[in-house]
Amino acid sequence: MSIYMRRVTELSVKGARVVLQGAIAKAEAMGIPQCVAVVDRGGNLLVFERMDGAKLHSQFTAIQKAYTAVSARVATGQLPFELAVGIALASGDRFATIAGGLPIMLDGEIIGAIGVGSGTDEEDIEVAEAGIAALKAVIDN
Amino acid sequence: MSIYMRRVTELSVKGARVVLQGAIAKAEAMGIPQCVAVVDRGGNLLVFERMDGAKLHSQFTAIQKAYTAVSARVATGQLPFELAVGIALASGDRFATIAGGLPIMLDGEIIGAIGVGSGTDEEDIEVAEAGIAALKAVIDN
Amino acid sequence: MSIYMRRVTELSVKGARVVLQGAIAKAEAMGIPQCVAVVDRGGNLLVFERMDGAKLHSQFTAIQKAYTAVSARVATGQLPFELAVGIALASGDRFATIAGGLPIMLDGEIIGAIGVGSGTDEEDIEVAEAGIAALKAVIDN
Amino acid sequence: MSIYMRRVTELSVKGARVVLQGAIAKAEAMGIPQCVAVVDRGGNLLVFERMDGAKLHSQFTAIQKAYTAVSARVATGQLPFELAVGIALASGDRFATIAGGLPIMLDGEIIGAIGVGSGTDEEDIEVAEAGIAALKAVIDN
């Protein structure tokens, strides 16, 4: 492989479905209707689901959280407010300042991300973590 | 009814007119020109009125407040500033951070929302409440 | 039920999943990677999937086609070009002028819509029809 | 490798530099100031250069052409006008209808794209082709 390109690993739509289903199952168990989005390493949407009763505007925030997590390669909602808003404004609203987005890592490499919205910060994160755990479970098997 | 769809109740345009007229009557009694918007449960505009003398930008905020109230299913302007701004940015400006939007509930189900803008927070809320009260009055009869 | 509201039927997320899966199965059988979006009767996104290899920009067009089909209550891409573009511009790009969006009707009432993008017009429509057929099949059983 | 992810090849920034330099060298030889953009397979910008004298708006069209070429996996500007405009409108202006964007393929797989703007269609395409040829030359060695 030349230096002019690189081999990278990317979440497939089948992998994204596993993440989504793991997240939805968790949200159902918690009794919290959620919006869940999964993006690939380029930030492009792979799968999305809005549970009955989830907030309407969360259809947009879930996707933006997933995009931000894959973009920044860390959980969303961690930066000081003024800096985070500054990045959001300077990027044409391509940066979520709020919690609920988590990168999906594999062997130290980023392969995609999940974004969850409609609950509290803690609920969103718990659901996102469950989605990632579901993927790890099927990969480890 | 199968699990693949659900029966829901939605404000009709006749119901929306009642909400609007109740709100406008209250604003006139208060001597405060207002913009009033009523949306259905999907966040789509049903009726709108801008009273003579109401602020121009409030034609937009009233609609956004109504959308936000139906989306979040609670009164607008209640969240901490940083979280509210974060949601607004992450949803592509589909979330009003300010007061004046109220969900319209019926038997615990959301059927629409009203948004009012051009007065103070207190005035906007009072007018919105009057709109909802007008609907309750005709329904109870 | 009073005249102030109306009882309507809306696709649930479970119903949307059936539509999505029917569409994806068809696209897989055709060997055409597609983006598929399903919205509820208010035009809000319920489920989405982008198959591996589908065009990136179709993640946006599929959603817009579904929105347009539920909004106009007819298949997208049927209007004369100049009129369709005019509506798209006048609605702030909330109207798809191209084929691939179909309304989902039940007993003459609109309950949601599907939008498909990444293939030719004919392929997109065929996949959308398969999604709707999958829903009809489970409802009739 | 599991079905849940896939190994893909992506242009590195070193590869993108080769494409850019090949394109710029060609534009200089032609005496035509150009804007040149190179994106990775996710449609995200890797390198960009606006030569002295190139048109200002071409800083935007070059990037959009590159995005479109990697998204659609074919050269831009090939579709019938009405369809291309329809896709542009339905994707929120994420689709260039004009020529000057070319996908960069390697062994049948898309690894990125180049977009060139500020000349005529023919000049833009010639410069884009020169960029890709420069990459092929260093890879084949």
Place of tokens 């594999």: A106
Q: Do A97 and B91 touch (CB under 8 A)?
A: no
- The residue written with tokens 């539509």 in the block is C19
pLDDT, tens digit, for every residue of D26-71?
A: 999 999 999 999 999 999 999 999 999 999 999 999 999 999 999 9
Whether pLDDT at C1 is above 70: no
- Decide if A6 and D9 are in contact by the 8 Å CB cutoff: yes
Instruction: Indicate if the alpha-carbon torsion angle D92, D95, C29, C128 is positive or negative.
Output: positive
Say what the pLDDT of residue A141 is: 73
Half-sphere exposure of D114 (CA within 13 A, CB side): 30
Reference B2, options C18, A56, A66, C36; nearest CA is C18
Q: Quote the distance between the C-alpha of residue A49 and its chain's center.
A: 12
Structure tokens at A105: 């890592």
D33-44 pLDDT, tens digit each: 999 999 999 999
Chains that touch B (3 or more CB pairs under 8 A): A, C
Sign of CA dihedral C36, C40, C45, C48: negative
Which percentage of chain D shows pLDDT scores above 90?
97
Cβ contact A56–C44 (<8 Å): yes
Give the tens place of pLDDT for each residue, A30-88: 999 999 999 999 999 999 999 999 999 999 999 999 999 999 999 999 999 999 999 99
What is the number of alpha carbons within 13 Å of residue B116 lying toward its C-beta?
31
CA C21, distance to chain mean position in Å, is 13
Q: From the list C44, C46, C49, which residue is nearest A13 (CB)?
A: C49
Q: What percent of chain A has pLDDT over 90?
A: 97
Separation in Å, CA of A132 to nearest CA in chain B:
22
Can you tell me the distance from the alpha carbon of C41 to that of A56, in angstroms, rounded to the nearest whole number? 13
Contact status, residue D16 vs residue D49, Cβ threshold 8 Å: no
ipTM rounded to 2 decimals: 0.95
pLDDT in tens, D90-111: 999 999 999 999 999 999 999 9
* Host H or E run for residue C39: strand C35-40
Q: Do A12 and D18 touch (CB under 8 A)?
A: no
Q: Is D36 left (phi over 0), alpha (psi -120 to 50) or beta?
A: beta
Q: Which chain A positions have a beta carbon within 8 Å of D6's beta carbon?
A: 9-10, 12
Cα D129–D133–D138 angle (5° rounding)? 155
Position C108 pLDDT exceeds 90: yes
Strand partners, A97: none
Chains contacting C with at least 3 CB pairs below 8 Å? Answer: A, B, D
Residue D140 confidence (pLDDT): 82
CB D25 within 8 A of CB D132: no
Domains and CATH numbers, chain C: 13-140 (3.30.450.150)
- D-chain CB neighbours of A6 within 8 Å are 9-10, 12
